[in-house]
Structure 1
Amino acid sequence: MLFEKIFQRDDKSFLLLYYLFLSAVLYLSSVLAYFIRNKTLELSEIYFKGTIYILLIFLILSFFNFKENRYIKGTVQWLRLEFLLLIQTFVIVILLTVMLKTTDDYSRIWLFTYMGISLTLFLLSKVLFDLIYSKLISSNAIQRNILLIGDTEGCQNIIQKFPKKISNSVIKCLIAIDQLDKKDLNFYGIPSFSLKENFGQILNHHAIGQVWIISSSKTQSYIESLIDKFLNFSVDCRLIQPESKFKFIEGLDSEAGFDFYNISFSPFFGTSFLIKSIFDKIFSLLALILMSPIILIFSILILIEDGFPIFFSQKRTGWDGSSFDILKLRSIKNMKNNNETLQVKAGDSRLLKVGKIIRRLSIDELPQFINVLKGDMAIVGPRPHMIDHTKYYSNDIKNFMQRHKCLPGITGWAQVNGSRGPTDSEGAMNKRFQHDLYYIKNWNLMLDVYILIRTIFVVLFQRVD
């Protein structure tokens, strides 16, 4: 799921990794050329500086020359971008050495060997990344499964314009509004449904990641009700070719010649989400190492007071409404017929003596760093609810499933704004939901850092009611 979310809109993150890899290849080429010239792998100071300058020029040119949002396979693409970029880099380097009168500092054998090795390794890198890209698509790792809704003509037009060679967006099923209950056979083998079908079953069965609604004269009267329907699911919803009746300021996107307006779209994608994921994994690993003595001490205390099990596992709702097993230190007594859906409150008779301390300092949450390493959770995000609670509140609160458009977190915007503990009072869950929705709509990396800092003060100084 991680790759699918990172490449949700485009291939910028894949391209970033590709060009970082090419930068490493460029440095390696310098080392190999120096070895051929001097029989040593250790670059001298002057050659090391020269290599760094070449890398900087290459990265700067990459930034200004690269305008694609998607990765295109093939040798033609390599000749058009990477080959030309590398030649430009070396031409600029040669001109600079002439202007600065430093040509005598560098060996011509090294320079031309460097160019030859770089071109060869760049071509091999292109072949390698083409294979990786094809593998990711064939394994459905970066493929976007689409439910298309519109009139027959509009659906056929979109299907024709989105072949796999142009986009990773694959239309898995569709609803032709003007067909009503008829089944059209001209959709190139793509299964079609009617508006009377169970949307939840369609989304789950076909693993739908996005819903595309085509705006046309035949679909205008349906659009508002369709948007309301899909806001009850955690799926991303996009409008294609909106007409003048709808005025959108934000969310404009484009792909394969079509304009998209993102009605409900998770901001957790691309490079920012990649950075967040890497940070979460590193932070979790360090946290588990540093907190292991605390986990061990309280595990022993739980064992002494109430025996096994030490850990508590429970099904919770994750990204896109999928379920996962959350891991916590056990803080309540090991009783028969214990109702796991009943939330723990202050003064709860089920609490262990050590459990009061565990919950007060949120020590029970520490094992969830394992969930983060597994990819089920993030450090920061909406807190995951029990499955039964999700079903209940999704019926009670409008658009409740929108809070599941990202990975659930160990801490979140709601928790640092006072919404910790049980949600038994009237309006408590709605208040928490509004905080979660604010976080998803306004997410950025600095907001995560801010929440982490505030969490420390909340845990140490705020009392949980």
Structure 2
Amino acid sequence: MAIDIALVVAAAFSIKYLYISIYLEAEAPSFHASCIFIVVISLYFGLRRQNYYEDILRPGIWRGYFSLFLIVAFAFGLSLFVLFAVKESAQLSRGWFSSWLIATYAILLVTRVGWRSAYMRLLQRGYLRTAVIIVGSGEPLQNAVARLRREERLGPVSIAGVYTLCPSVAPAREGSACDCTAHLDRCLQQIVTQCQNTFVSDVIVAVPASEKDVLCKAVEHLRLLPVNVNIVPDFGALDLSMGQVRHYGQFGAIGVQRIPISEWGVFVKKIEDIVIALIALLLFAPAMVLIAIAIKLDSPGPVIFRQRRHGFNNKVIHVLKFRTMTVLEDGKQVVQASKSDGRVTRVGRLLRRTSLDELPQFLNVLKGDMSVVGPRPHALAHNDYYSRLLANYATRHRVKPGITGWAQINGFRGEVLKPSQMEHRVRLDLEYIENWAIWLDIKIILMTPVYGFISRKAY
């Protein structure tokens, strides 16, 4: 990252010298240095937050280029906002600013391809690999070996050895317990010898939970070695692939789930929601007044429809929408709107096709019940039904519901005709929750009008 940032700074000063000093024959204002500083700091934290370099070998690398564009656009947009706030933006050279923005994006793109290519070449030649020894017994050992074999094919891991320990089960015959202990001692001694004679950085111990004595003896023996000793806990079907050790003072525990959005992330997302909701309400205020008048003239009933739905942490909230139907269903049974539904009014059909019926939900965002981006909330009756049908459905409520979301821009919006469609929605919602970032929110907001137009509701 340091080299890339240095290249970006060098590009800024080079373009400033060539464009302003040589081409325009003018003196660059002093605040250009402040602009460069803001951009560099924003890029640094943005790239780190996105794991831009850590994920250099992840499949689907091309999808990361749009995220890179959002990071660069945010960094330059922030610097422009700061200059506007201190009333210096009028003196900013637009030619220099736009040229540097394009050059920054190009530099980060080219260097990413270069780093990836160099990294792959080094891995193919056997460099930069983590040499690992796997020791254990039973199914945990088999699972660990299988998963690490897949990682070895990708490059960053190299399996230096696999050792099978004798399980500490009840002896089937006299003397077998002694044989098992002797076998365990021989295996551990072989591991020590290999680590002393070859370069091994990590040893992974994978034994069944019932073999506590074997685990303790193996770990105690491996303490003598200058290597990382890692334990793969055996908890049956429990997935620990996302687990990490958390420390509470001197006490440590393996985390199998984390808070979806950190405290700092919650603060950033709140600012994002307030700013976007205020801008949207100001922009759409005239349209909302006209929609309200059209609804009143089209059919009897209230302009706004309030429906109870589950929000953050299963709290019941009242979601606001422009009324699009002749009924106001909010009970134990809610019939979902469908094509050629006679309950939908003439104005309502237009509002539903364009999603303009959801504009009042920006008021829910300002109130704090919803977010601009998040899993779409459903009526209580639908929530109860799908909670019984899909085991992980309720985990969507770990974050605030949104006006739009990751599932919506991937084509899952409107009527649900079969459970598999809801299952895909839930999968995408959970994918959003686990991978939340401000850049992902910006991407969803920018793509919502495009996908909303392509996959409009037909009712």
TM-score by length of 2: 0.47
Higher RCO (C-alpha 8 Å, min separation 6): 1
Q: Provide the TM-score with structure 1 as the length reference.
A: 0.46
Larger Rg: 2
